[in-house]
Amino acid sequence: MLPIFLDNLSVWFLGYYPQRYCSLFSCRWQFTLDEFEQARERVARLEAVVFQDQNALVPLNEAKKALLTAKQQYEQAKNTKDRETAFALWQAAIDQLDQISEQILAGKTAQTQLVAFKSDFEYGRISSFIAAAQ
């Protein structure tokens, strides 16, 4: 949204001697049209990153919801078949989290949470094997 605001600034004089304009009107800043365009490009890149981060929150939240649902199904499972189904869903949710790019905020968040999720998964898997063996 910021480039729209940048488009509304009166910068027509930047290409026409900003130093002279600022000497007449006591500007506290002095920059050229090229510097203004560079600032617009940086803002556009930042907006693209923010857009990607916001879009990546959707799969992050969906994967976390699926993981919590699978974990709950595992805890409520009455038999081995139900536990195996829950484990399959649990593993799919972990895989979904693992696919989010680490270069964006959602991916970094997912990677930090994945350690705990994988640990819970392994603990559940081992306890399920122990219960089945008994």
Q: Residues for the chain: how many in total?
A: 134
Tokens of 107: 């991916």
Q: Which of 72-76, 120-124, 130-134 has the highest mean pLDDT?
A: 72-76
Name the average pLDDT for the chain: 79
Query: What's the whole-number mean pLDDT along residues 98-127?
Result: 83
The burial class, CB within 10 Å (0-12 / 13-18 / 19+), for 9 is exposed
**pLDDT tens digits, 76-108:** 888 888 888 988 888 899 898 888 888 888 888
- State the chain's maximal CA–CA distance in angstroms: 90
pTM score, two decimals? 0.61
Domain of residue 30 covers 2-133
| Neighbouring C-alpha atoms within 13 Å toward the C-beta of 124 | 24
The burial class, CB within 10 Å (0-12 / 13-18 / 19+), for 53 is middle
What is the tally of structural domains in the chain?
Answer: 1
Tokens of 104: 């964006």
Calculate the alpha carbon distances from 35 to 29, 30, 104, 114 in Å: 12, 10, 28, 42
Query: E-assigned strands of 52-101?
Result: none
